[in-house]
Structure 1
Amino acid sequence: MPDINSYVGHPNLANTHDKLLNLDEGIQLNLDSICELVLPIFDAQFCRLFCCYDEKMFLVSQKGEMNQAIQQQVISKKELVALAHSSKSLNKLAHITHPYDESLLRHISPIVLPSGLVFGYLEFYRGEGANLTPKEQAIITVLQRDIGNHLLQHKHLIAAAKSRELHLLISKHNRDWIFVKDTDFRIVYANEAFLNAYPQAASCISQQDHSSPVYQSVTTAASLEQDKIALHQGQSVTTEDITAADGSIMVYETVKRRFEDGGGVPYILCIRRDITERESLIRQLKEANNDLDDFTKIASHDLKAPLDAIRRLLGWIEEDCQHILPEESLENLRLVVSRANRMQSLLEDLLTFAKIGREDRTVTRIELAKLISDLNPLLDLPEGFEINVAPAELVVPSVPFKTVMLNLVGNAVKHNDKDMGKVVVECKVSEFCYEISISDNGPGIEEKYFERIFQLFQTLKSRDELEASGIGLAVVKKYVNQFGGRIEIASDGVNGTTFTVFWPKPK
């Protein structure tokens, strides 16, 4: 519930009686007029309006002659509250015979604001026996409502003043440059950060001295062009490199937006922000991406070509010399061929990992069973191995999703140790994503390895025991993260493993 502060602000709490409130001049004049009007309407000798605040009485207005008898009678807040609660209506008048002058009758009317808060009271004195007529009672009700409306107006003024003060404080303490231009592109306001950068700008702005070098330094031809864009199109955003006094390069982003004041007069709000640190990071990332692109090109051509040649040469040597080389030498040769093949596989997996995020992200409709069927020739399925796929239709980016499925199903096949291996692929469709589970009856994975298996080059068996690059699940996780999904693993370390991919549905 609102308090008195919201209607009158913060009164001066000096220990003196009849302290005037600091009301708006226009509203104070209106309340003075009401008190002055009471005198002739009710044939009163004296009228005053009080505010109850923090156990003290603050005089709002008074009119008429305060004689000694009136001055001796001062109502307390406790008495006012008692009077207010003794009546069925807070707006009901209390009539009290003056104890020091029986020829006077004091009339007290509580002032109740629209919020239900008792603001104070209106008090006036008239001759003994002069009780109010029904018409006068009605007039009092109108006066009470009028006083409440004036105070409500003051409440709005206080709220507006606080809002302006808050906006000014925000502008003052904002490190961004904030300035406002009119339709003639003259700076009419600038915050402290702007003025700190251009200490002489304050006088130039107040005097609108367009010839000043300071003024011209912030109103260049390029700046004026962006002003025109903002004024006519609503907004302009530019980024520019500026050389600082110490020779360092600073990067600033300037946003200009058209707005209108309460009277419909257009202005341009300009905000210039130092984005040097952010832009530096972005440029470093771009450079790193370019380096990665260069590596990908080198790996695709300069590394793969000689590696393919080595593999072919080794194959020819094995074919030509298998009858003349000792068995031990042949075994070493086969081992070299195996290592070359592993290197080829590792290189291809690294290229796949490096290219993540650069593929076409266009979504397409896919039948899950058909997708897995198309992948079967790439899986090197053992005889009798069974893959069951529940029917499901998904709308996903084709290449990334196929790569994820190939790696997950391929791992389930490659690591299965059962005579009759089995993989089950299912899909549940929720409101926001597809939940694709890939379950196998293999050896399972201990919980302590759940995090490790998604790291690059991590395998749970030696590469001589099981040929694997250790990149497949890292590729899966990176793809899933790229598209805003997640992957979970469930296994008791003995009876198979279930990977569940939560892939977001297209919006």
Structure 2
Amino acid sequence: MEEKTELTSTLLDTTPYDQNEFNDLLFENIPGYAFVKDEHYKIVKANAAFLSMYPENSRDKVIGYTTVEDYQPDEAEQFLAMDKKALIDGYSETIETINFPDNSVRTLLTRKKRFLGTDGSPYILGICTDITEREHLIKQLKKSNQDLDQFAYIASHDLRAPLNAIAKLASWIDEDYKDELPSGAIEHFSLIKNRIDRMTCLLNDMLTYSRVNQTPRITEEFSLKELVFEQFDMMSVDHAFNVTCKDLTISMQKDAITIVLRNLLSNAIKHHHLDSGSINVDISENRGFYTITVSDDGPGIDSQYHAKVFEMFQTLKPRDQQEGSGIGLSICKKIVRNYGGDISIRNNDVGTSFIISWPSVSVLKHTAFGVHA
């Protein structure tokens, strides 16, 4: 360690250029508006970019001044608040709106860091980064997402009424004229009912997808095992499927994880190649994240489709062979990402595992494994 220190010192001492000139060059070319203030909040140094924020005829009044000499006391206090915070705490950061001399309005991210001068006095280094375009793009993106969510909500909500009317009409015809219809017409009515059910499922999933960002972020304490079995029982599965789940009391956003687990359980059953099978739900906590793994013993998913299955309206089989909206896994991904987590797929020797990473609050109690048939 000592040799490294001596070598560094030697290199610095023998630098073939003037250190002060180099520091001035570095300061002047900082990508942003840079300035230094003393402990009295007076600007003692500023680069050309910073000075350009002031009208040309007043730039000579920047160095040596606080620039708030003509402000009212309360306005000056507000303007210098982040300077005081930097001097006291050592650092401050804020986003502020500045009116430039050319009458443009820019949004700046201003960071201020305290340091000591050679005389031991405290100073503030301030660097302002122009984030106007970034903030504009973020606002546009948020508005676009809100518009898309609103469209999905309106579409799924407003389409329910005509769909319900079609369903009732088909049901009335079936009830009143079933005995008079030829076999071909009866088969067609069966297809109509099938398409109505598919459309209803699609609308429900679209509505769920559009409301993901509105899911309450309320953290609750609950039993993962009870939640999994409750969702499994609600599916009214006619086939012989067994579900096992780790019995763990956890604290997280129950409403959101319920939707994810319901979709994954349904997906494992719906896409199983047999009329019976096993599903296991496991959970662990590590480094502030829960890892929830939903595994099945089904046919598996080819690795080339691992990314595709999370896309909207994507199914691995034609809908005439396998009913589904193609939105279920998209909902899972959107919810998990919305809460700062992630979801991925792993192929096992038999079947597939969906692995959810979800920010945890605390693991409160761990007992044993439970089995539900």
TM-score normalised by the shorter chain: which range applies?
0.7 to 0.9
The DSSP-based 3-state class of the residue aligned with 2:179 is coil
* Cα drift, residue 229 of structure 1: 2.3
Which residue of structure 2 lines up, in the alignment, with residue 188 of structure 1?
A: 44
Please point out which of 416, 419, 426 is paired with 2:282. 426
Which residue of structure 2 lines up, in the alignment, with residue 490 of structure 1?
A: 347
Would you say the 8 A contact 1:185–1:227 is kept in 2?
no
**Distance in 1 (alpha carbons) for counterparts of 2:64 and 2:240:** 91
**Distance in 1 (alpha carbons) for counterparts of 2:297 and 2:212:** 30
* Cα drift, residue 356 of structure 1: 2.4
- Structure 1 residues 7, 269: CA separation in 2 closer, same or farther (over 3 Å shift)? closer
Which residue of structure 2 lines up, in the alignment, with residue 227 of structure 1?
A: 79
Opposite residue 489 of structure 1, the aligned amino acid is R
**Distance in 1 (alpha carbons) for counterparts of 2:64 and 2:239:** 91
Opposite residue 358 of structure 2, the aligned amino acid is W
Q: Deviations over 1:15-65 (max 9, x none)?
A: xxxxxxxxxxxxxxxxxxxxxxxxxxxxxxxxxxxxxxxxxxxxxxxxxxx
* Cα drift, residue 374 of structure 1: 0.9
* Cα drift, residue 202 of structure 1: 5.0
- Structure 1 residues 7, 273: CA separation in 2 closer, same or farther (over 3 Å shift)? closer
The 10-residue stretch of structure 1 (456-465 or 386-395) with the greater mean CA deviation from structure 2:
386-395
The DSSP-based 3-state class of the residue aligned with 2:180 is coil
Q: Deviations over 1:108-134 (max 9, x none)?
A: xxxxxxxxxxxxxxxxxxxxxxxxxxx
Matches within 5 A, 1:405-444: 405-430=261-286, 432-444=288-300
Which residue of structure 2 lines up, in the alignment, with residue 282 of structure 1?
A: 138
Identity %: 33
Opposite residue 313 of structure 2, the aligned amino acid is F
Matches within 5 A, 1:226-245: 226-230=78-82, 232-234=84-86, 237-240=94-97, 242=99, 245=102
* Cα drift, residue 242 of structure 1: 3.9
Matches within 5 A, 1:58-207: 162=19, 167-181=23-37, 186-198=42-54, 199-205=56-62
Which residue of structure 2 lines up, in the alignment, with residue 336 of structure 1?
A: 192
Which residue of structure 1 lines up, in the alignment, with residue 223 of structure 2?
A: 367
Which residue of structure 2 lines up, in the alignment, with residue 445 of structure 1?
A: 301
- Structure 1 residues 486, 302: CA separation in 2 closer, same or farther (over 3 Å shift)? closer
Would you say the 8 A contact 2:215–2:256 is kept in 1?
yes
**Distance in 2 (alpha carbons) for counterparts of 1:390 and 1:203:** 71
- Structure 1 residues 200, 10: CA separation in 2 closer, same or farther (over 3 Å shift)? farther
* Cα drift, residue 313 of structure 1: 2.9
Opposite residue 351 of structure 2, the aligned amino acid is G
Matches within 5 A, 1:228-307: 228-230=80-82, 232-234=84-86, 237-240=94-97, 242=99, 245=102, 249-253=104-108, 255=110, 257=112, 259=114, 270-299=126-155, 301-307=157-163
Would you say the 8 A contact 1:241–1:250 is kept in 2?
yes
Which residue of structure 2 lines up, in the alignment, with residue 308 of structure 1?
A: 164
**Distance in 2 (alpha carbons) for counterparts of 1:294 and 1:412:** 30
The 10-residue stretch of structure 1 (466-475 or 222-231) with the greater mean CA deviation from structure 2:
222-231
Count of aligned residue pairs for this structure pair: 349
* Cα drift, residue 268 of structure 1: 6.0
* Cα drift, residue 254 of structure 1: 5.7
1:500 aligns with 2:355: yes
Which residue of structure 2 lines up, in the alignment, with residue 116 of structure 1?
A: none
Would you say the 8 A contact 2:43–2:64 is kept in 1?
no
**Distance in 1 (alpha carbons) for counterparts of 2:210 and 2:284:** 30
1:394 aligns with 2:250: yes
Question: If you compute each CA radius of gyration, which structure gives the higher value, 1 or 2?
Answer: 1
TM-score (norm 1): 0.59
* Cα drift, residue 360 of structure 1: 2.1
Consecutive unaligned residues of structure 2, counting only runs of 5 or more, are 87-91, 363-373
Looking at both structures, which has the greater relative contact order when contacts are Cα pairs under 8 Å and sequence separation is at least 6? 2
- Structure 1 residues 252, 316: CA separation in 2 closer, same or farther (over 3 Å shift)? same
The DSSP-based 3-state class of the residue aligned with 2:283 is strand
- Structure 1 residues 11, 297: CA separation in 2 closer, same or farther (over 3 Å shift)? closer
The DSSP-based 3-state class of the residue aligned with 1:298 is helix
Opposite residue 81 of structure 2, the aligned amino acid is I
**Distance in 2 (alpha carbons) for counterparts of 1:419 and 1:300:** 32
* Cα drift, residue 243 of structure 1: 6.8
1:327 aligns with 2:327: no
TM-score (norm 2): 0.77
Would you say the 8 A contact 1:244–1:250 is kept in 2?
no
**Distance in 1 (alpha carbons) for counterparts of 2:250 and 2:64:** 67
* Cα drift, residue 408 of structure 1: 1.2
Opposite residue 147 of structure 2, the aligned amino acid is D
**Distance in 2 (alpha carbons) for counterparts of 1:308 and 1:243:** 58
**Distance in 2 (alpha carbons) for counterparts of 1:497 and 1:189:** 62
1:353 aligns with 2:209: yes
Which residue of structure 2 lines up, in the alignment, with residue 464 of structure 1?
A: 320
- Structure 1 residues 5, 438: CA separation in 2 closer, same or farther (over 3 Å shift)? closer
* Cα drift, residue 257 of structure 1: 4.9
Would you say the 8 A contact 2:306–2:345 is kept in 1?
no
* Cα drift, residue 167 of structure 1: 4.7
* Cα drift, residue 468 of structure 1: 0.7
**Distance in 1 (alpha carbons) for counterparts of 2:301 and 2:11:** 69
The 10-residue stretch of structure 1 (434-443 or 337-346) with the greater mean CA deviation from structure 2:
434-443
Opposite residue 305 of structure 1, the aligned amino acid is A
